Amino acid sequence: MRKPFVAGNWKMHGSRDANARLVQGLRTAMTAPLASHCDVAVCPPFVYLADVAVQLQGTPVALGAQDTCAEPGPGARTGEVSASMLLDVGCRYVLVGHSERRQFHGEDDGLVARKLSAALAVGLTPILCVGESLQERDAGLTHHVIARQVDAVLDAAGVAAVGRSVLAYEPVWAIGTGRTASPEQAQEVHGFIRGRIAARDGNIAGSVRLLYGGSVKASNARELFAMPDVDGGLVGGASLNAEEFVAIVAAAARK
Ligand code: 13P
């Protein structure tokens, strides 16, 4: 019912040469049957988007960005990139509210909701990231934090907007640490998120895709994606290796 989806977040990695090699690897390994069973996207840094858009032509891999300005633009916002610019260079998706934006750039729930709306307004599909820190989990606050992050967007943008988005649960303690959430831990929070959306609209809750992110690798993807509410992955480090990334896509395609 929900088509699996795997997105690669390259974060602040890459160079023109390295990206060209990575995309060539994806072009070779991403077979048509795989792509017909799983949506796939990669999210390079802003400066490489236009290059990578050209390199991805003729492949089933879509382009995404890692962030967007919350203002529609054009305008006086030095250093910012608007959603319409992302669309202009070929993006289809954009991450909003990644924990590294929340943590290192002070992005709060209100700003994240405005970014989501800005993306939707131009026809991009936002990938809304939520997740608790280790301290929050240890303090028993996981549901509290996730509810706050999800409800902020439901309240500000509306449930229909969330329905036109993809959500990603990324526990901060599992990002780049090699410490993956267990399939049961992921399922538990995914079920909670779906329930939170169902409280507003059951149909939307049933159709929206919920990705898991945090040390997803080829070796653990299959068991994570076997969970009923895990519809795919948002992959960081492992998306920088074409073989590893495509193996994760293959695991999702078998779902
Ligand atoms: P890792 O897969 O490197 O843990 O990163 C996850 C992530 O933050 C993807 O957005």
Cα(183) to ligand 1 centroid in Å equals 16
Cis-peptide, bond into residue 74, ω within 30° of zero = yes
Cα(167) to ligand 1 centroid in Å equals 14
What percentage of the chain exceeds 90 in pLDDT? 95
Residue 202: its pLDDT value, please?
98
Residue 174: its pLDDT value, please?
93
Query: Tens digit of pLDDT for each residue in 214-246?
Result: 999 999 999 999 999 999 999 999 999 999 999
17 burial (CB, 10 Å; 0-12 / 13-18 / 19+) is: exposed
Residue 64: its pLDDT value, please?
99
Cα(171) to ligand 1 centroid in Å equals 10
Average pLDDT taken over every residue of the chain: 97
Q: Does pTM surpass 0.95? A: yes
DSSP assignment, residue 38?
S
Please state the atom number of ligand 1 nearest to the C-alpha of residue 216: 2
| Type and span of the H or E element at 221 | helix 218-225
What percentage of the chain exceeds 70 in pLDDT? 100
Asked if 98 is an active-site residue, the reply is yes
Please state the atom number of ligand 1 nearest to the C-alpha of residue 239: 2
Catalytic residue (one of 98, 100, 136, 244): 98
pLDDT band, very low/low/confident/very high, at 154 (cuts 50, 70, 90): very high
Cα(234) to ligand 1 centroid in Å equals 7
DSSP for 34-50 reads HHHHSEEEEE--GGGHH
**Which protein residues touch ligand 1 with a CB less than 6 Å away?**
9, 98, 170, 175-176, 213-216, 234-238
DSSP assignment, residue 178?
S
Residue 232: its pLDDT value, please?
98
Residue 32: its pLDDT value, please?
84
Which of 12, 170, 245 for mutating ligand 1's site (highest number of atoms within 8 Å of CB)? 170
Residue 31: its pLDDT value, please?
85
Please state the atom number of ligand 1 nearest to the C-alpha of residue 213: 6
Query: Tens digit of pLDDT for each residue in 4-47?
Result: 999 999 999 999 999 999 999 999 999 888 989 999 999 999 99
Query: Tens digit of pLDDT for each residue in 89-136?
Result: 999 999 999 999 999 999 999 999 999 999 999 999 999 999 999 999
Which of 94, 128, 215 for mutating ligand 1's site (highest number of atoms within 8 Å of CB)? 215
Catalytic residue (one of 100, 132, 136, 170): 170
Cα(248) to ligand 1 centroid in Å equals 13
Is there a contact between 252 and 5 (Cβ–Cβ < 8 Å)?
yes
Asked if 100 is an active-site residue, the reply is no
Residue with tokens 């820190």: 133
DSSP assignment, residue 174?
G
pLDDT higher than threshold 90 for residue 73 = no
pLDDT higher than threshold 90 for residue 165 = yes
What does CATH list as the number for 5-253?
3.20.20.70
Query: Tens digit of pLDDT for each residue in 177-205?
Result: 888 999 999 999 999 999 999 999 999 99
At 96, list the tokens. Answer: 């909003």
Contacts of 69 (CB under 8 A, 6+ apart): 77, 80, 81, 82, 83, 115, 118
- The Cα 125–Cα 92 span in angstroms is 6
Please state the atom number of ligand 1 nearest to the C-alpha of residue 11: 10
- The Cα 109–Cα 212 span in angstroms is 20
Residue 178: its pLDDT value, please?
83
Residue 176: its pLDDT value, please?
86
Give 6's strand partners. Answer: 40, 233
Q: Which residue owns the Cα nearest ligand 1 atom 9?
A: 236
Residue burial 234-246, b: 16+ Cβ < 10 Å; e: rest: bbbbbbbbbebbb
Residue with tokens 């400066």: 47
Which of 11, 166, 172, 175 for mutating ligand 1's site (highest number of atoms within 8 Å of CB)? 175
